[in-house]
Structure 1
Amino acid sequence: MTFVVAPPHLTNAAFADWDVLQAETPDPPLFDPAEADRLPEPVRAWLLYAISPGTPLRRAVVLHTHGRIRLGQWRRFTADQVLAPLRGFVWAATAYLGVLPVHGFDRYRDDVGEMRWRMLDLFPVMSGAGPDVTRSAADRLACEFVMAPAVALDPSITWKALDDRTALACLGDREITLSIGPGGELRRVSMRRWGNPGGRPYTTHDFTVECLAEDDFDGITIPVELRGTWDGQDFITFSVDDAIFR
């Protein structure tokens, strides 16, 4: 399996993160459904739905997506993301202010978060770093582990069933709630996430991603139509066009 070429418009640090995070899972074991038996029933149902027996348990993924994001007003975008849950991510996108492209990225790795967005690669539109950006990016990473379901088997994640269709995942001091449909499909991911939606001061907010449809990629089923909200207000809707597990 060859490397996925990093998207353009990244800084040297973001390029380096991309290459590190897309490294192939070394000798991934094949999924044995019995491995899910130790997990609470909602999680077990989800994993049996999401991973076909005998599928390599790859723990990183490169996603190609498109959608709309609210930046003052709704803007269309295309994006490439490398995601290695428990380690980091780089989300590189092109959005549009009218007909003018804005290129940039959000990234997190080694306890460092950053965002950097420029119009025509010249004029700064939005950038940020520091403790607040890092904390918000780390919360985002915690939510997104569901896009690489094999990570749910990692012993560093502890699970608690809240009822027969809801489970709480604890990743360190972060708590993520998963809502599972009657067939095992992932319906919703939510947490109290640090952020500043709408430019307000940073604090914790209700952050929810609704999973509206799913598709199978080489034996792994993930959401492919998603809607994200802060405090119940839509801020992003997107579709996954392709997923390459690493």
Structure 2
Amino acid sequence: MILIIIASIFILLIVISIVGIVSFNASVEKEKVLLFNTSREIDIKITQKDLDDFPDLMKNYLSKVKIVGKPKYCNVIFTQKGEIRTGSKKKWLPFSATQYMSSNNSGFIWKAKALPMLIRDRYTNDTGEVKVSLLGLKDVVLFTGQKVDQSSLGRCLGELIWFPIGFLDPDISWEPIDDRTVKATITKKNNTLDGFFIFDQNGMIDHFKTKRYRDTELENFIGEVGKYQDRNELLIPDTMTAAWNLKKGKLNYFKASIVDYKLVSATC
């Protein structure tokens, strides 16, 4: 009888966990539908003329990664695997994730699983939000507010390296700094953020720098990319490492590699 009770409790816990995970995924799916939604003409292709107003470094880069001829208004879904940690003395935790980005509505949604935690980081409708949930049953972390908006906007700008079609966003202005650096200024609602894209000798983006909030402190952020690979006829980095350049030294806290990458219709 005791064994039956234990088994029943175990099964009940599994069922509750499954319900929580399904509910969490359903919530993210609703957010994805809104991000991907558009009333734009979806058959417009990017032309070389669309690149005319970019600084030469960006113009050459966008040509090399092959955005010309791609749909101007489209979405991307890509999956990742990687590791994340919260401090230099903390353990690296493995995760798997799916990220959604769109050129219809600027923003991203990142859904990750690092059991028993489920994580959703997003920037949509000019607003950021970070949520960490215990198996989708209880939110243990929920960050919102102006600092989160600014930090999420910085992530959104930097991760356009994974979705270069998004660099055509009219809310981004460009300024050449030197022969290896271009400054991007993005303005959304009440937030304006500067980011710097640094190029390698082959004219490809090597890393990205900006300032983002780490907890409540504004810190120097660096996103470093790996080798470029052909994905759906776009050249994108297969890996990215995110780091805080703190006064006491550099802290790598996020490492991810692309597992699968798919451009999808603007109406998905």
Same fold by TM-score greater than 0.5:
yes
Q: Does 1:91 align with 2:110?
A: yes
- Which structure shows the higher strand fraction? 1
Partner of residue 81 from structure 1, selected from 96, 99, 117: 99
Q: Does 1:212 align with 2:231?
A: no
Question: Which string of whole-angstrom CA distances, capped at 9 and with x for unpartnered residues, describes residues 182-224 of structure 1?
Answer: 222221111111232xxxxx12111111011122222211111
Give the AA of the match of 1:126.
Answer: V
Give the AA of the match of 1:180.
Answer: F
Cα shift at 1:136: 1.9
Question: Which string of whole-angstrom CA distances, capped at 9 and with x for unpartnered residues, describes residues 107-139 of structure 1?
Answer: 222233222223333455433223332332222
Pairwise mapping of residues 1-246 of structure 1 onto structure 2 (< 5 A)?
Answer: 8=22, 10=24, 14-23=28-37, 26-51=41-66, 53-71=68-86, 72-84=90-102, 87-96=106-115, 101-122=116-137, 124-172=139-187, 173-196=192-215, 202-231=216-245, 232-246=250-264
Cα shift at 1:102: 1.5
Unaligned runs of 5+ in 1: 1-6, 197-201
Cα shift at 1:21: 1.6
Structure 1 residues 35 and 182: alpha-carbon distance in aligned structure 2, compared to 1, 3 A threshold:
farther
> Is the Cα contact below 8 Å between 1:46 and 1:186 reproduced in 2?
yes
- 2:42 aligns to what SS in structure 1? coil
State the 4+ residue runs in structure 1 displaced beyond 6 angstroms.
Answer: none
Distance 1:59 1:166 in 2: 28
Mean CA deviation greater in 163-172 or 106-115:
106-115
Give the AA of the match of 1:163.
Answer: D
Aligned residues: 231
Structure 1 residues 13 and 102: alpha-carbon distance in aligned structure 2, compared to 1, 3 A threshold:
closer
> Is the Cα contact below 8 Å between 1:139 and 1:194 reproduced in 2?
no
Unaligned runs of 5+ in 2: 1-20
Distance 1:10 1:215 in 2: 32
Question: Which string of whole-angstrom CA distances, capped at 9 and with x for unpartnered residues, describes residues 136-177 of structure 1?
Answer: 222222222232212223333211111122101111221111
> Is the Cα contact below 8 Å between 1:59 and 1:148 reproduced in 2?
no
> Is the Cα contact below 8 Å between 2:219 and 2:244 reproduced in 1?
yes
Distance 2:67 2:148 in 1: 36
Please give the root-mean-square deviation of Cα atoms over the aligned residues, in Å.
2.4
> Is the Cα contact below 8 Å between 1:31 and 1:57 reproduced in 2?
yes
Name the counterpart of 1:199. none
> Is the Cα contact below 8 Å between 2:180 and 2:198 reproduced in 1?
yes
> Is the Cα contact below 8 Å between 1:45 and 1:183 reproduced in 2?
no
> Is the Cα contact below 8 Å between 1:10 and 1:92 reproduced in 2?
no
Give the AA of the match of 1:15.
Answer: E
Give the AA of the match of 1:212.
Answer: G
Decide which structure has the larger Cα Rg and report it: 2
Distance 2:25 2:232 in 1: 32
